[in-house]
Amino acid sequence: MRSISSVLSNLGLGRRAVGLILPILLLLGWQYMSTRGASFAYAFSSISQMQEALRELIATGDLQVNLASSLQRALTGLAIGGTFGLVLGVSMASSRIIDTSVGPLYHILRQVPLMGLVPVFSLWLGNGDTAKLFIVCLSAFFPLVLATYESLRQVDGKFLEVGNVLKLSRAQQFRHILLPAALPNIFTGVSFALAMAWLSTIGSEILFNAGAGLGNLMMNAEMASRMDILVVVTILIGVVGYLLTFVLYRITAYLFRWRKVASE
């Protein structure tokens, strides 16, 4: 049986072109639906409308303002929640008292769906930015505690033995052996926390529905049945999320370039 890609390569198209078939079909299907009278055009806005919506959002500055405020929220949340997560993770990994006493509580609280906490925080902190930021902080906090804890615990025993031989103090052991060994894995946790922070930023903006942010922009578009704006913003959210992870990945790769050399 000849594969699709070999057929395409005979036609002078690369293997990558095959991947474009479905997206193009999807676009054509969407475009077709948008031309099928008013009842469909309400949900399926045409592609030219979407371009128009994008232009309109940029011209009025709506896009920039809301994007900036979402990004700021996600990164602030990551910084605050992540720091607390790091501290708790380190203390849980280095002290058994903290581990056995705080650990179970942490594992119970971690299971509560964060979006389910929206009503609680809205009653406690109001519907403004504080409540949203709190949720974002929590979303970055929980994964980082676990990542830090696990990474520190999984450090190879051989390294610690070297530390013992050199009679390092606990602080030195941590600074020179545990931390460098665990840091690459902790950064994997940071990238997960970043993804969670971005997700919960959008989620909390959708659910709180007050103030600036891409989530609010979407909810307003939803109220006004503006599918064109919705599609543009949703794609933007996906792209920004991807870029955030990508940038962090490059930073991590740069920071830990010594690791590759060391393992070779």
Partner 1 sequence: MSIGIRAAIGLNRVAGRVHYRQLKLAAFVSPVLLLLVWGWVSHLQLISPQLLASPLEVAATFGELLSSGELQEHLTKSLSRLTLGYSIGASAGLLFGILMALSRNVEALCAPLFHAIRQIPTIALIPIFILLLGVDESFKIAIVIKASFFTVALAAYEATKGVSVNYLEVARVYKLPWTTLYGKVIIPAIFPPVLTGLRIAFARSWTVLVAAELLVADSGLGQMMQMGRDMFRLDIVLVGVVLTGLIGFCIDRSFKWGESHLVRWRVA
What six digits make up the tokens of 52? 């128009």
DSSP string, 34-88: HTSHHHHHTTS--HHHHHHHHHHHHHHTHHHHHHHHHHHHHHHHHHHHHHHHHHH
Q: Is 156 in the site for partner 1 (CB under 8 A)?
A: no
The residues in 30-49 that bind partner 1, with binding defined as CB under 8 A, are 43
Tell me the closest approach of the beta carbon of residue 101 to partner 1, in angstroms: 5
Tell me the closest approach of the beta carbon of residue 261 to partner 1, in angstroms: 26
Determine phi and psi for 126, rounding to 5 degrees: 85, -175
What is d(CA 238, CA 245) in angstroms, rounded to the nearest whole number?
11
Tell me the closest approach of the beta carbon of residue 75 to partner 1, in angstroms: 16
The 184-223 site mask, x for binding partner 1 (CB under 8 A), equals --------------xx--xx--xx-------x--xx-xx-
Q: Which helix (H) or strand (E) holds 221?
A: helix 214-223
**Which stretch, 58-66, 92-100, 148-156, 252-260, contacts partner 1 (CB under 8 A)?**
92-100
From residue 210, give the alpha-carbon distance in Å to each of 66, 207, 218, 230.
12, 9, 12, 17
> Which of 68, 79, 123, 247 touches partner 1 by CB under 8 A?
123
Q: Is 81 in the site for partner 1 (CB under 8 A)?
A: no
Q: Is 126 in the site for partner 1 (CB under 8 A)?
A: no
DSSP string, 176-220: IIIHHHHHHHHHHHHHHHHHHHHHHHHHHHHHH--SSSHHHHHHH
Q: Is 65 in the site for partner 1 (CB under 8 A)?
A: no
Residues that bind partner 1 (CB under 8 A): 3-5, 15, 18-23, 26, 43, 95-97, 100-105, 107-109, 111-120, 122-124, 198-199, 202-203, 206-207, 215, 218-219, 221-222, 225, 227, 230-231, 234-235, 237-239, 241-242
